[in-house]
């Protein structure tokens, strides 16, 4: 329960960073999708039911903060989570490279799903924006995931030294935790 609550708080913090702080600090149109990175991590480490409910809350929060189409992010993030869960049994979830690969795939799937669902509404502005921002979005998501992989063991050692990071145990051992 502590881990789920921690992930929920982290999701709220990431949502605020990507929707409020990032545009204020950098003013760039493209921004890292930290919630998508967290959804991939949750897909690799959590159960189907607990992780699915967590992802629905992430999507609802993201829709509340920045969504112009209610429920769009909930559906897209849940589908990305389900795809990660589908593939997690076929790969070693303790591999940090897998997280980066799944973030890249998740970014592409996210873009395709946004384009698909936008085609039912008004495909003009949302569709063009998704296509135009795909390359910078992919790069920013990969850099963010890489930085989080490097930062997570350091923070874990300082904040909760006795706890283990699910899915990153091998990474923790490499860094001497």
Per-residue pLDDT reduced to its tens digit, 143-171 = 999 998 888 777 777 766 556 665 555 44
Determine, yes or no, domain membership for 11.
no
Residue 54 lies in a domain: yes
| Residue 27: inside a domain | no
When the pLDDT of each residue in the chain is averaged and rounded to a whole number, the result is: 81
DSSP helix, strand, coil percent of the chain (3-state; round to 5)? 80, 0, 20
The whole domain housing 37 covers 32-161
Supply the pLDDT for residue 153.
Answer: 76
In-domain check, residue 93: yes
Q: How does pLDDT run across 50-102, given as a tens digit for each residue?
A: 899 999 999 988 888 776 777 888 999 999 999 999 988 777 767 788 889 99
The pLDDT confidence band at residue 6, using thresholds 50, 70 and 90, is confident
> Which burial class, exposed, middle or buried, applies to 107 when counting CB atoms under 10 A from its CB (0-12, 13-18, 19+)?
buried
What distance separates the 2 farthest-apart alpha carbons in the chain? 51
Structural domains counted in the chain: 1
Q: How far is CA 130 from CA 39, 65, 70, 72, 124, in A?
A: 19, 18, 17, 14, 10
Q: Is residue 171 part of a domain?
A: no
105 belongs to a structural domain = yes
Is residue 26 one of the residues assigned to a domain?
Answer: no
Q: Check: CB of residue 43 under 8 Å from CB of residue 80.
A: yes
CA–CA dist 152, 98 (Å, integer): 16
Local structure of residue 20 (DSSP, 8 states): I
Specify if 9 maps to a domain.
Answer: no
């Amino acid at each position: 329960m502590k881990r789920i609550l921690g992930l929920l708080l982290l999701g709220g913090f990431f949502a605020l960073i990507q929707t409020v702080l990032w545009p204020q600090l950098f003013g760039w149109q493209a921004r890292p999708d930290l919630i998508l990175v967290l959804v991939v991590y949750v897909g690799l480490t959590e159960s189907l039911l607990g992780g699915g409910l967590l992802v629905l809350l992430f999507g609802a929060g993201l829709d509340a903060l920045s969504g112009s189409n209610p429920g769009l992010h909930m559906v897209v993030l849940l589908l990305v989570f389900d795809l990660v869960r589908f593939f997690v049994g076929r790969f070693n979830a303790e591999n940090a490279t897998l997280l980066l690969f799944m973030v890249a795939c998740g970014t592409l799937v996210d873009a395709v799903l946004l384009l698909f669902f936008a085609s039912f509404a008004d495909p003009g502005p949302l569709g063009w924006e998704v296509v135009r921002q795909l390359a910078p979005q992919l790069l920013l998501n990969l850099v963010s995931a890489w930085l989080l992989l490097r930062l997570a063991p350091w923070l874990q050692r300082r904040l909760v030294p006795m706890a283990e990071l699910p899915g990153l145990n091998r990474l923790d051992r490499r860094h001497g935790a």
